[in-house]
Amino acid sequence: MSRFKCYSVTVTLQTSFPISVLGLFLQLPRFYSVEVSAWRTRPGTFSTDHRDIVNEFTTYCYQKDIPKAMKALDSMQKHKLWADSITYAELIKCCISHRAIKEGKQVHQHVFSNGYEPKTFLINTLLNMYVKFNLLHEAQFLFDQMPERNVVSWTTMIAVYSNSECKYKALRLLIMMLRDGVSPNMYTYSSVLRASEDISTLKQLQCCIIKVGLELDVFVRSALIDSYCKWGEPKAALNIFDEMVTSDLVVWNSIIGGFAQNSDGDESLNLFIRMKRSGFWADQSTLTSVLRGCTSLALLELGRQVHVHVIKFDRDLVLNNALLDMYCKCGSLEDANSAFSRMDVKDVISWSTMIIGLAQNGYSQKAIDLFEAMRTSGIKPNYITILGVLFACSHSGLVNDGQYYFGSMKMLFGVDPGREHYGCMIDLLGRAGKLDEAMKLIHEMKCEPDVVTWRTLLGSCRVHRNMDLAEYAAKKVLSLDPHDAGTYTLLSNIYANSQRWEDVEKLRGLMKDRGIKKEPGCSWIEINKQVHAFLLGDKAHPQINAIHQALSQIIWRLKEEGYVPDTNFVFQDVEGEQMENSLAYHSEKLAIVFGIMSLPKGKAVRIRKNLRICGDCHVFAKLLAKVENRHIIIRDPIRYHHFQDGSCSCGDYW
DNA sequence: CTAGGGTTAG
């Protein structure tokens, strides 16, 4: 580094930091080293007093006495004395941990004054200080002025931008760093990986990592695993994970969390079991992901077991929020409520989770009441909270409340209505039979309606049997997503409702041409730590014969109670008896019957299914709950049905 | 002096 460049740093910095020009005036030689004798000032001017000042300063720095160190720094400044870099670095670290911003800046000013040339490592410490104080402009400014930048300098800045909104800046810095001839190390890569904005960038970075042989580092690997999971490729992440010779708890957490976030609860829980077998103990982060796995699979019993371990970390907000969500999504509002009231710190997510949980389980009024309680508690609702409230309104036909919250959300909570909020309103109006108003709202939307928007409208058309609008909406959906199997089914059911078997047939032909397979209905039930899955018309279950026998008996009993199978929900065009049979095979019926056979009397039957419940199964479950005196709970992809005493929590409105 | 994991919707 040339001398000229070095001095130019000092001069540039004068603009933002008042620096004594005396040092510049004196034109100190560059090789003048304060490291050699910390107490010396300028050749020929050292004295015992001066030595005492520097020694005092050094002592205070190591004692972490900031006020006294700053005083000593003042007199050093006055007498143009210097301590060594390590001492300054200690003081800066001390300022960081005490959040002493003003003092930190003073040290900065001091080490750049009077021609003292701070070593790169000392500037790095200052850089780190600004980052820790979140003074990113100051950090960037200092970085720009550095006469020499090493790996640490570059990595510090890359880490800043990797954690910020401008991730591309981190990648740009990496390129600049390479051009500058500085080799990135494992620290650099584990930071920059978080900045990858698509899968191809990620793969390029992975190539660089392999080329320089850094792929064995656990930090780099955990960053790779996270990134692949973030881009929806948990299988690629698992490959990287399985190649690892050694792993640690964080790496396990990355892969377990990765699958949980990609809603693969099954694989997430399998990995958790593997982790336990490898002798690792779960921490807060592991448990959060495991709970999320239980949530997506609706495994209440397993979730309860996890709860026992959660108690050890009962001050952890994120973990408790995951626990709340687990109880809500497993349909146990009693547990969710008591967990919620036991939390002494609650944030937006805690409240939102509870509001959404109440809404999905059919307690719309309670959801709205809780939202009002949240407003008085002083926690500001966000985008998702309001979505939960609108969801509550739409699922109970509370049109006035919904319109009130939707109309005033910008003014009251400062949240602009987004596509999802419009979606809830379209749902609300549509279900309430106000299809014209729903259509009007679609035209008023500030953002383009998407597949979900039209699918929502289509759902309302089905409820109100509005054939023309249904066909219009379905065409919109299929033009945006020609492979949406659910829409073909919905449209087909609408045709079937009005006996338009020819159109049903045409539609099936279209599906065949386009190679669209209807997702088979599937239901799951957890019994005694085992999950039993039932597919539509499935014969694979070991007790399938007994289940079918029990199911026919139950259907007979229910028919005596007035049950009439509703054949509108049969997809195929079949007749009479045969039609009833294909209804009987609906997976949720098999699962319910199996639950009643296997669970102790009085215990609630909890089912999770992949498709929305059909009207016939809904009637079936209501009657069965009454006859058997059982609480039957079915979770479909959107909401929950609590069947009790012959009625459902959704009030037949879904 | 620089690096890793977890929570709310659809």
A216-254, pLDDT tens digit by residue?
999 999 999 999 999 999 999 999 999 998 899 999 999
pLDDT value for A20: 28
pLDDT value for A446: 86
- Amino acid A559 CA to nucleotide B4 C1' distance, rounded Å: 60
Question: Do you know the residue count of chain A?
Answer: 654
Closest nucleotide over all strands to A125 (CA to C1')? B1
pLDDT value for A516: 85
Chain B nucleotides near the protein (CB, 7 A)? 1-10
pLDDT tens track for A130-162:
999 999 999 999 999 999 999 999 999 999 999
Closest nucleotide over all strands to A121 (CA to C1')? B1
The partner residues of A608 in beta bridges, in order of sequence, read: A524, A635
pLDDT value for A29: 30
Closest nucleotide over all strands to A247 (CA to C1')? B4
Closest nucleotide over all strands to A152 (CA to C1')? B2
- Amino acid A407 CA to nucleotide B9 C1' distance, rounded Å: 19
- Amino acid A119 CA to nucleotide B8 C1' distance, rounded Å: 47
Name the protein residue, with chain letter, whose CA is nearest the C1' of B2. Answer: A152
Q: Are A108 and A145 in contact (CB under 8 A)?
A: no
In this structure, what is the dihedral angle of CA atoms A571, A572, A575, A577, given to the nearest 10 degrees? -60
Coil, strand or helix: which one is A531?
A: strand
Tokens 């109100």 — which residue? Answer: A464
Name the protein residue, with chain letter, whose CA is nearest the C1' of B4. Answer: A219
Kind of pairing between the strands at A647-648 and A605-609: unpaired
- Residue A262, φ and ψ in degrees, nearest 5: -95, 25
**From the CB of residue A12, how many other CB atoms can be counted at a distance below 10 Å?**
13
Amino acid A537 reads G
- Amino acid A652 CA to nucleotide B5 C1' distance, rounded Å: 43
Coil, strand or helix: which one is A300?
A: helix
- Amino acid A163 CA to nucleotide B9 C1' distance, rounded Å: 24
Q: Is A365 exposed, middle or buried (0-12, 13-18, 19+ CB in 10 A)?
A: middle
Closest nucleotide over all strands to A353 (CA to C1')? B8
Q: Count of alpha carbons within 13 Å of A122, Cβ hemisphere only?
A: 22
Name the protein residue, with chain letter, whose CA is nearest the C1' of B6. Answer: A285
CA nearest to A607, candidates A520, A522, A489, A486? A522
pLDDT value for A23: 26
- Amino acid A385 CA to nucleotide B9 C1' distance, rounded Å: 9
Q: Record the pTM.
A: 0.86
- Amino acid A153 CA to nucleotide B1 C1' distance, rounded Å: 8
Sign of the torsion formed by the C-alpha atoms of A96, A101, A106 and A112: positive
**From the CB of residue A199, how many other CB atoms can be counted at a distance below 10 Å?**
15
- Amino acid A124 CA to nucleotide B1 C1' distance, rounded Å: 5
Amino acid A305 reads Q
- DSSP calls for A315-369: T-HHHHHHHHHHHHHTT-HHHHHHHHHH-SS--HHHHHHHHHHHHHTT-HHHHHH
pLDDT value for A579: 57
Kind of pairing between the strands at A605-609 and A632-635: parallel
- Amino acid A120 CA to nucleotide B2 C1' distance, rounded Å: 13
Q: Are A386 and A425 in contact (CB under 8 A)?
A: no
CA nearest to A251, candidates A290, A273, A224, A231? A224
Q: A113 is written with which tokens?
A: 């004054």
Closest nucleotide over all strands to A359 (CA to C1')? B9
What is the Cα Rg of chain A in Å?
33
Q: Are A58 and A31 in contact (CB under 8 A)?
A: no
pLDDT tens track for A518-571:
788 899 999 998 999 998 877 889 999 999 999 999 999 999 988 988 776 655
Closest nucleotide over all strands to A288 (CA to C1')? B6
Residues of chain A falling short of pLDDT 50: 1-44, 572-576
Element (H, E) at A641: strand A640-644
Strand blocks (E) in A248-311: none
Closest nucleotide over all strands to A638 (CA to C1')? B10
pLDDT value for A45: 54
- Amino acid A189 CA to nucleotide B3 C1' distance, rounded Å: 8
DSSP A179: H
